[in-house]
Structure 1
Amino acid sequence: MSDLLNNDQMQAPGVPTLTLTPTMSDAAAPAPAPTLVATPEEKAPAALDDSMLSDEEKRMVDNFSQQINVRDSSMILQYGAGAQKKMADFSESALASVRTQDLGEVGDLISSVVVELRSFDATEEKGVFGFFKKGANKIESMRAKYDKAEANVDKIVGALQGHQMKLMKDAAMLDKMYDLNLMYFKELTMYILAGKKKLAEVRDVELKELVAKAHATGRAEDAQAAQDLEAMCTRFEKKISDLDLTRTIAMQTAPQIRLVQNNEVTMVEKIQTTIVNTIPLWKSQMVLALGIANSAEAVRAQNAVTNMTNDLLKKNAEMLHTSTVEVARESERGIVDIETLKNTNETLIRTFDEVIQIQKEGRQKRAEAEAEMRRMEADLKQKMLEIPRA
């Protein structure tokens, strides 16, 4: 993952920057002029929290808002585009880093360790023939299994150590990614605050003056000037809304980075536990197992036949009991359980109810949509005949 971020992104995050002339590799096409109609006043949205900004950054926002010209179509089009471009590039890098992470491979390696450890404790062949086949070479067979398992485990441990080092580097890189995301979030916040402040100033002062002038003179050019300024304000407001969406994405990215980082740290800890605890414990237990096998071989030879006979009698009795009970239980069971029939019937009834409800809701929504379209058509016709009022 550390190779996926470009040189600019790998630098430590600095101070947020604001610009009205961003450098864009892919220039956006100019947006078409909006329809110039007067819009009713809307309820003011909740104020954006600026507590994360320092006093210097707040002053930067105030100064930057004075440089904004809402009459400049090019400025509106590119406002905050630089920050959005950096955020988009950052998101691509973060996505690529997640795609390259194959934590499943680490889990497979750890599972392989378990398989190798269990292979040493393979089930022994049962019965008299198994006893005589093993006999004297049982200890040699155990040692051969131990040597094979140990070699395979050592190879897997080497691969796990390589993954552990890579995951540790990735966790450190995710810390830098988190800081970069935080800087982008703050920068977007500053763009939004500056834009909203300028927009409020234009609407409260400039736009009201133009509307008052249009009503006072009654001239078409004055009314058009007010309409033009309102349209530019609306476009700028939409641009600020787009920046707010990008800011929300940045806010959501932060916990996602931490989740990925926590997953990697968890795997590092799991690998560490496997290397320093599981493997040494297994080796010590294997040494004990070999010692116990040496001392128990003589006793095992004496008791094997007696134990086998007792086990055979017990198993036959248990098998007889199990098979008899299963046959009796199955013979008393019906072809189809009543619970299955009840569940099928309830599901069928619920299906009919849901289909009827969906059809009812569909008819209601279509009627509401038709009424709303008629209302919007009437409102549009009415507004097109009006001029802005003070």
Structure 2
Amino acid sequence: MTINLSPQELQQANSYAEKIDLNNNAVIMQYAAPVQKRITAFSAQALEIAAGNASTEAVSIINQLIEKITAFAEPRKGFLGLSRKTSEDWREEYHSISDDIKQLSLQLESLQFQLYKDMGLYQQMTQRNRSARQELMLYLQAGKTRLETAQKLELPMMEARYNDSLAPQDQLRLTGYQGQVAQFQKRLQDLQVTKIISDQFEAQLDLMYQTAHSLSEKLQTTITHTIPLWQNQVSIALGLDRIKQARQVDQAMHQIELSDPAERIAKLSDELLQDMDHKKTELTELSPTDD
């Protein structure tokens, strides 16, 4: 069992080791129990956060958004196959899904805020876990020192003193203390497992943080780029169609109207004069002739 401590922490652990009473069963059972409980509580809290499914929900909403935008961009299916969308088609489809996309966008913003909160919490939990693990390592070092003292000094001295004793109480003292030392050794092994849990927990927190960070960036891109770009493309499509319609109207007006008003008046005057000459001819033909 390798424990890395600073010289100051090592001195603190050695000082604490001297205070561990292996004759007290309660001391052995509760050794480092508070810090052990804190570490296990962190794991439960992380599990509760992960069960919130903020990341899963965000991915689901992004997929819904992509499906709607993709469906909007596809050409319509007609009786004889695919056909281009008219401006009215664009407008109808835009109005039908714009509210959905706005709602999805609001949900993405809410989830992004939740992911930011989760990331901050992951960082806090990482620091708290590291602090608790460092405290646990002090307990482990102190326990290791105390166990070595018991195994290498105290037990050999007691064995040399009581093995040859015929007094039953001496044998009870020896076997009792051997049992206490063995129990303390198991307690240290249990704490070592807790340290492994703490190490794994920090790796898990780092993975959860990186996942939330990556997803929050995707949400930011979707909110600030994908949706506005889609709206801009729809606006361009509608604008180009209006320009096309305006040109068609302009061409039609040129076909039915003359460009020069003076030319139009002259044409009307010619038509009137021609009509008057025609009427004079008809009157001449109808008037009686001299015999």
* Same structural fold, with TM-score higher than 0.5 when normalized by the shorter chain: yes
> 5+ residue gaps in structure 1?
1-46, 298-390
Q: Which residue of 2 aligns with 1:177?
A: 125
Which sits farther off after the overlay, 214-223 or 282-291? Answer: 214-223
How many pairs align? 245
Percent of residue pairs bearing the same amino acid type: 25
- 1:259 to 2:213 alignment: no
Q: Which residue of 2 aligns with 1:164?
A: 112
- 1:110 to 2:32 alignment: no
Q: Which residue of 2 aligns with 1:72?
A: 24
Paired letter, 2:39: M
Deviations 1:357-378 (A, max 9, x none): xxxxxxxxxxxxxxxxxxxxxx
- 1:151 to 2:99 alignment: yes
- Partner residue of 1:59 out of 11, 17, 20: 11
Q: Which residue of 2 aligns with 1:305?
A: none
Q: Which residue of 2 aligns with 1:49?
A: 3
Q: Which residue of 2 aligns with 1:95?
A: 47
Q: Which residue of 2 aligns with 1:222?
A: 170
Deviation for aligned residue 1:161 = 0.8
Distance 1:198 1:258 in 2: 35
Deviation for aligned residue 1:274 = 0.6
Q: 1:94 to 1:128 in 2, by over 3 A?
A: closer
Task: Trace 1:289-328 onto structure 2 (pairs within 5 A).
Answer: 289-291=237-239, 293=241
Deviations 1:174-227 (A, max 9, x none): 100001111121111111110110111122222111111124545443333222
Deviations 1:26-80 (A, max 9, x none): xxxxxxxxxxxxxxxxxxxxx4222xx3333222211110000111111111111
Distance 2:111 2:165 in 1: 77
Deviations 1:84-140 (A, max 9, x none): 222222222222111123322111211121122123234323356997xx9xx9322
Distance 1:86 1:128 in 2: 69
Deviation for aligned residue 1:250 = 0.7
Which sits farther off after the overlay, 204-213 or 137-146? Answer: 137-146
Q: Is the 8 A contact 2:116 2:216 kept in 1?
A: yes
Q: Which residue of 1 aligns with 2:151?
A: 203
Q: Which residue of 2 aligns with 1:245?
A: 193
Q: 1:123 to 1:86 in 2, by over 3 A?
A: same
Q: 1:169 to 1:81 in 2, by over 3 A?
A: same
Q: 1:130 to 1:171 in 2, by over 3 A?
A: closer
TM-score, structure 2 normalization: 0.76
Q: Is the 8 A contact 1:48 1:193 kept in 2?
A: no
Distance 2:165 2:99 in 1: 95
Query: Secondary structure at the residue paired with 1:159?
Result: helix
Cα RMSD between the aligned structures? 2.5
Deviation for aligned residue 1:283 = 2.0
Distance 1:104 1:217 in 2: 70
Q: Is the 8 A contact 2:133 2:195 kept in 1?
A: yes
Deviations 1:318-357 (A, max 9, x none): xxxxxxxxxxxxxxxxxxxxxxxxxxxxxxxxxxxxxxxx
Distance 2:7 2:138 in 1: 12
Query: Secondary structure at the residue paired with 1:188?
Result: helix
Q: Which residue of 1 aligns with 2:78?
A: 126
Q: 1:80 to 1:295 in 2, by over 3 A?
A: same
Which sits farther off after the overlay, 118-127 or 90-99? Answer: 118-127
- Partner residue of 1:86 out of 35, 38, 49: 38
Paired letter, 1:186: Q
Q: Is the 8 A contact 1:211 1:226 kept in 2?
A: yes
Distance 2:109 2:212 in 1: 14
Q: 1:255 to 1:200 in 2, by over 3 A?
A: same
TM-score, structure 1 normalization: 0.58
Distance 1:215 1:275 in 2: 79
Q: Is the 8 A contact 1:174 1:257 kept in 2?
A: yes
Query: Secondary structure at the residue paired with 2:135?
Result: helix
Distance 1:78 1:129 in 2: 78
Distance 2:184 2:82 in 1: 86
> 5+ residue gaps in structure 2?
246-291
Deviation for aligned residue 1:256 = 0.4
Paired letter, 1:72: N
